[in-house]
Structure 1
Amino acid sequence: MAIRLPPVHALSAFEAAARHGSFAIAAEELCITPSAFSHRIRLLEEFVGERLFVRDGRSVSLTEFGRRYLDVVRDALRSLAEFPLPYRNAPAQPRVKVTVPPTFARYLFLPHLHEFMAQQSDVTIETYLSVPLYDMSLSETDVEVRFGAGKYPDMVTEKLFEEPVFPVASPAYLEKIGGLEKPIDLKKAQLLRSALEPWQSWFEAAGLDWPEPVNGLRFDDLGLLLEAVRHGYGVALARGHFASEMIRKGEMVPLFDIKLATPQHAYYLVYERNARDRPEVAAMLDWMKGRFITQRLK
């Protein structure tokens, strides 16, 4: 029968909070966000089935069960820490955890990541994907690129770039519906929908008094949205960074020469204020700002 063990990262959070009497100080010690720290404590409390702390404003104190459990946890952590390891004295390799939206990762981050790797060959990079407009906490990552409105309280937020959006369609789809000469002709087209690229503002720029479409195919990933266009499912709004290659290959064409100059959403570099205390994270931030904020995209 398998033994069900408590998560070690939650045990270390529990021990740190008990030692400091503060979630905030303990979270800072472990280099994670307060929300991620609270999640670890909730996870451990769910595991043991008991409350571990009594919350009183900004300070916390152990419950009676928490005090008894702390002795066991400290003994276990001490045993793990003191166990002789053959490579314990080897220096830890610098590591940066980066979270990016899928389309940004595919079209922009990965094609240029070799530049950072050449500059910082000793840094290990761990890349994670996030869902735009849904994942709103840094969790345990060091650097995050977010696609949204740019309102992220208590975080350093820097706009990477903002570019116009414009409608695109595949040549095969245009032939199928008899072409699209003017914006009003979109009434005969299937408009592909996405919360990431809403149509309403572009309609206004094009002089169309139309509501946001509520029917038809919807995609919450910009890469899938472009693939749907390429496969001839309809017309969608796109951005040059992502659509340029497909346009160059003739897989889709821009329509009407009407662009929305200031779209609702943009890409932002988001990180905690103390992130630059670690040289490897500061190096990643500087590289991303130099590569993307200055728009030196090739």
Structure 2
Amino acid sequence: MPKRFPPVHALVAFEAAAHSGSFAVAANQLCITPSALSHRIRLLEEFVGDRLFIRDGRAPALTPFGRSYLDVVCTALQTLTDFPMPGRASPAQPRIKLTVPPTFARYLLLPKLAGFTAAHPDIVVDVFLSVPLYDLSLSESDLEVRFGAGRYPDLETVKLMEEPAFPVASPAYLERIGGIASPRDLSKATLLRSALEPWKSWFEVAGLDWQEPATGLRVDDLGLLLEAVRLGQGVGLTRQHFAQEMIDRGEVVELFDIRLASPPHAYYMVYEQGAKRRPEVQLFIDWLLAAYSAT
């Protein structure tokens, strides 16, 4: 009896949907309609005899079998992609797709990235931006740096760095509100808010039995939050790597010698288990860990 092989177009649809976390996004990537993509995935499920996705009205999630089968599919497709073709003058250049939060990219990645590209000039690095706490699927990236609590089910998660959080303000703002001498003086200040840097944990370290501020400007980007502080719009929580240049220039000042040693959020490197099979991705993972291990 001849062997039955899974349809390649269905395998490609499955891989795209699994990595994007969205049938609509995967369909757009493959230039087909969402219904055509769903049809291909159903065709593959009929072939394997089991469900690949849990469809409950939210974003489709892989079943346990789907996660196992995805590793096999990714390996098979990568093998086909990497096979040397007679008409191809040279093998495809190794490429890494990296997704990072904007502030991490600006203050922490770009100053160090030249070291990696100089050591590995044959590897292309594509950098994409994501919004922390919102972009929770790996999409088509090989790996991501995420700023959050570090709880990402079914993904390999490694903490890159954690810094103490502390409040800062601009000298002009402090002069305008009559100065701040103690943490309790923050009651007369506008506290800039962010889901990325909640105040409640710092209040506890400072001995303040205060609730999380419910009013005032909210900015869910740490770089923009710090810029709002520099422009004199209030007091915000920040971290050393972001604020040091502004502190050195006198544009913002650290208010107290009170720091939250272990904030609720830190930077994590996140990737799917199969990503490390590609040598260039493993190289970049090792470089990231070495670059930030002493940070």
Corresponding residue for 1:58?
Answer: 50
Please state if 1:225 is matched with 2:225. Answer: yes
> 1:159 touches 1:293 (CA, 8 Å); kept in 2?
no
Q: 2:34 aligns with which of 46, 69, 81?
A: 46
What corresponds to 1:246 in structure 2? 246
Aligned-pair CA distance for 1:40: 2.1
Residue 291 of structure 2 aligns to a residue in which SS?
A: helix
Identify unmatched segments of 5+ residues in structure 2.
1-5, 53-80
What is the DSSP-based 3-state SS (H/G/I as helix, E as strand, rest coil) of the residue aligned with 1:134? Answer: coil
Separation in structure 2 between the aligned mates of residue 41 and residue 181 of structure 1, nearest angstrom: 57
Task: Map residues 98-117 of structure 1 onto 2, 5 A cutoff.
Answer: 98-117=98-117
Q: Are residue 35 (structure 1) and residue 21 (structure 2) matched? A: yes
CA contact 1:133–1:148 (8 Å) conserved in 2 = yes
The normalised TM-score by structure 2 is: 0.78
Measure, in 2, the Cα distance between the counterparts of 1:220 and 1:274.
31
Q: How many Å apart are 1:32 and its aligned residue? A: 6.4
Q: By how many angstroms is 1:90 displaced?
A: 2.4
Give a deviation string over 1:223-255, Cα, whole Å, max 9, x none.
Answer: 000000001001000101101111011000001
Q: Tell me which residue corresponds to 2:8.
A: 16
Greater Cα offset, 194-203 or 45-54: 45-54
C-alpha spacing 1:92/1:50, structure 2 compared with 1 (3 Å): closer
Q: 1:211 Cα shift? A: 1.0
Aligned to 2:78: none
What percent identity do the matched residue pairs reach?
A: 57
- SS of the equivalent of 1:274 reads helix
TM-score by length of 1: 0.77
Q: Secondary structure at the match of 1:33?
A: helix
RMSD in angstroms over aligned alpha carbons?
2.9
Q: Who is 1:137 aligned against?
A: 137
Cα pair distance change 1:51/1:188, threshold 3 Å: same
CA distance in 2, matches of 1:31, 1:92: 24
Shift of 1:86: 11
TM-aligned CA deviation for residue 216 of structure 1 = 0.9
Q: Matches of residues 259-298 of structure 1 in structure 2 within 5 Å?
A: 259-295=259-295
**1:45-194 matched pairs, under 5 angstroms:** 45-46=33-34, 51-52=39-40, 53=42, 55=45, 58-59=50-51, 88-194=88-194
Change (3 A) 1:155 1:37: farther
Superimposed CA distance per residue, residues 10-32 of structure 1 (whole angstroms, 9 cap, x where no aligned partner): xxxx95364x6x97xx52xx796
Tell me what 1:73 maps to.
Answer: none
Deviation at 1:276, TM superposition (A): 1.5
Q: Which protein has the larger Cα radius of gyration, Structure 1 or Structure 2?
A: 1
CA contact under 8 A between 2:20 and 2:137: conserved in structure 1? no
Corresponding residue of 1:9: none
Amino acid at match of 1:242: F
